Amino acid sequence: MPENPFLCVLERELPPGVETEWRPETGSTNDDLKARARREAFRGPVLLTVDRQSAGRGTRGRSWRTIAQPLIFSLGLPLTAPVAAARPGIVCIAAALAVADAASDALGAKVLVKWPNDVWAAGGKAGGILLETVGDAEGRRSLVVGVGLNLSVEPGGRTTAGWPVTALPSRIPLWDPETKGELLALIVKRLIDAFGALRSDEDIARLTERWPLYDAFFGRTIHWRRIDGTGTTEAGVDRGIDAEGRLVLQGRRGELHALSGELVSLASGDAQEEWT
């Protein structure tokens, strides 16, 4: 049987000890790894990547739309004590920065993040990240990081919230098996490094300092409202994140609001469209 060039690149580029599996299709890579982690917690990194998934999910249980040319994978890791102790918002920020940083380096073009977990490129949503934790019967916990990235899209597409659907910027065909493998390997390495470096308040401070470099709307006015529909829409200038990974907005009178992604939704000051 001919060698799979995508898997050959992963075998060559991934760090030793990363267990790798590829499938043509599955329902959800996150669900597959969560089911495995419930049987027995991960003892090391486990990578599952597929060409297509039929039941992908985004934040708050939203369906994850399938794109014709995606890079889809989930990474399972042992949930270490420092990561378990960190605020969920900070763990999400660490993952988002790792993905954006790796993609920027691999592609030679800036890839950003729309707080807290959307990959943002060319003025639109080019991907998303979903983090989940799960425990086994012995009480050992695992972290599962699901990532979906658009490598190529038809022009004019929109998300369910009205944002443009875009692809990662590149002058080379990202769906080429070797190029795709190199991109995936670098992202996986940066994710492993990011969670390994999340050990102290100083590490968290470094994340908050780096955030403005990748924040797609830093310094811009954006609007926000509560997910439960109570209250009016309010506006503020994006001033970055705090030590819990909450988005800090400065209001018209100089007051600061720290927003949690679990409680509020955001809209750009220009488009007045809901962020998802």
- Looking up residue 234, the CATH number of its domain turns out to be 2.30.30.100
Assign residue 180 the CATH number of its domain: 3.30.930.10
- 183 shares its domain with 86: yes
Mean pLDDT of the chain: 88
At residue 6, does pLDDT exceed 60? yes
**pLDDT, tens digit, for every residue of 103-142?**
999 999 999 999 999 999 999 999 999 999 999 999 999 9
- 152 shares its domain with 75: yes
Strands lying side by side in the sheet with 141-152: 19-26, 46-53, 69-78, 141-152, 124-135, 118-121, 112-114
171 band by pLDDT with thresholds 50, 70 and 90: confident
Q: Say how far apart CA 134 and CA 34 lie, in whole Å.
A: 6
**Amino acid at site 78:** P
At residue 276, does pLDDT exceed 60? no
- pTM for the whole thing? 0.90
* pLDDT score, position 272: 41
**What is the domain range of residue 45?**
5-214
Q: Say how far apart CA 213 and CA 209 lie, in whole Å.
A: 8
Instruction: Give the angle subtended at the CA of 225 by the CAs of 229 and 117, to the nearest 5°.
Output: 110
Q: List Cβ neighbours of 233 (8 Å cut-off, separation of 6 or more).
A: 223, 224, 225, 267
- 63 shares its domain with 177: yes
Q: Name residue 119's beta-bridge partners.
A: 113, 127
Pairing of strands 141-152, 69-78: antiparallel
- 151 shares its domain with 248: no
Instruction: Give the angle subtended at the CA of 85 by the CAs of 84 and 87, to the nearest 5°.
Output: 95
At residue 255, does pLDDT exceed 50? yes
Q: Which two tokens stand for residue 194?
A: 């990011």
DSSP 85: H
In a domain, 276, yes or no: no
**Structurally, how many domains does the chain consist of?**
2
- Tokens 């795709």, residue? 180
**What interhelical angle do 177-196 and 88-107 show, nearest 10?**
140
Q: Say how far apart CA 184 and CA 186 lie, in whole Å.
A: 5
Pairing of strands 118-121, 247-250: unpaired
Query: Do the beta carbons of residue 44 and residue 118 sit within 8 Å?
Result: no
Strands (E), 54-96: 69-78
